[in-house]
Amino acid sequence: MHEGKVAQYVFDLVKETAEEDLDIKGKKITELTFAMARPFSVVPDSFEFYFTELVKNTDLEGVLLHFEESEDLEFGAFYLSGIEVED
Amino acid sequence: MKIQVLKNVMLKNDAIGADNRWLFDKKKVFAINMTSSPGAGKTTLIRSSLERLTAMYRVAVIEGDLFTSRDAERLEDFSIPLVQINTEGGCHLDAKMVHAAIEKIDLDNVDLCIVENVGNLVCPAAFDIGAHRMVLLYSITEGEDKPAKYATMFTRADVVIINKVDIAPYLNMDLDAIEAEVRAVNPTCRIFRVNSLDASTLTDWFAWLDSEIASTLQA
């Protein structure tokens, strides 16, 4: 139920990262990958629902989301781990 | 082209939470995040605790609630700094909300700040609000399986207070079995058994608070 707020955090984080990273800046972002550790603090389906609504009519509309389980991150962590951009 | 990054999505919240904790530390205020499912008895425990704590310490309470101020109204007769947060449907408090509430309190004149989170056994676990300790109140009427079902909350808790133990015989509940369920997901947390309406059962809870407040003041 808190995934709506997490979606806003991700939106802000992606925009900030895109501004800072010259490999991303100005390019079309097509996919985002997330690393998450058990016990999961975010439900992927719920997050995707909110995120899809949030990015409508923005540069991120249509971006694909991938979720990967990580055993290296701390308990319950949810990280943005990859940004795919058009070449 | 895929760009590898590794950024904590919760960083924005966690950074404000860290700011809140820094402020509490600077002002020598011990802060607790009081969590539970709805109806477990958070406000009742706070009320019972305030009867003793306000004689010894300068206490402030931040009340989190979706829409109402009913919990805060139950504490008004203590004449303490009391700030209401309404989340307008939000299922948890976050660090930014708590920061805004802290700004309304004169922390120079507070020893203990109790933040009563929204009643919810899921979402509050994901949001560091900047308290020093997370206290989870667990009513035995919820059944003994909740630690396993809501492992994130129970694992994050520093203290689990098993409440309403006085009615265990009427519910055929085994308190040792409940405590074992808590220990299975969190072997190191403190566990207290209380009936929050009976001050004589709160002795260990008060002793823990006394110790934590003393440590904060001496830091």
pLDDT digits (tens, 9 = 90+) for B158-168: 999 999 999 99
Query: What percent of chain B shows pLDDT beyond 90?
Result: 96
The pLDDT mean for chain B works out to 96
Its CATH architecture, for the domain B11-218, is 3-Layer(aba) Sandwich (3.40)
- Structural domains of chain A, ranges and CATH numbers in brackets: 3-85 (3.30.2320.50)
Helices H, strands E: what count in chain A? 2, 3
Contacts of B137 (CB under 8 A, 6+ apart): B34, B35, B36, B40, B41, B42, B45, B161, B163
Tell whether B69 lies on the interface with A, counting CB pairs under 8 A.
no
pLDDT of residue A75: 86
Tell whether A12 lies on the interface with B, counting CB pairs under 8 A.
yes
* Mean pLDDT of the A34-40 span: 92
* Mean pLDDT of the B173-182 span: 97
The band of B153, judged by pLDDT with boundaries at 50, 70 and 90, is very high
The band of A87, judged by pLDDT with boundaries at 50, 70 and 90, is confident
- Mutation site, A79, A84, A86, A87, interface B, largest B CB count within 10 A: A79
| Omega cis (within 30) before A39 | yes
The band of B219, judged by pLDDT with boundaries at 50, 70 and 90, is confident
What's phi and psi for B165, nearest 5 deg? -65, -20
pLDDT of residue B179: 97
**Complex ipTM:** 0.90
* Mean pLDDT of the B136-143 span: 97
The type of residue at B179 is E
pLDDT of residue B53: 97
A1 pLDDT above the threshold of 80: no
B101 pLDDT above the threshold of 90: yes
Dihedral angle computed from the Cα positions of residues B169, B74, B109 and B85, in that order, rounded to the nearest 10 degrees = 100
pLDDT of residue B34: 98
Give the number of beta-carbon pairs within 8 Å between A and B.
Answer: 82
The residues pairing with B33 across neighbouring beta strands, listed in sequence order, are B115, B134
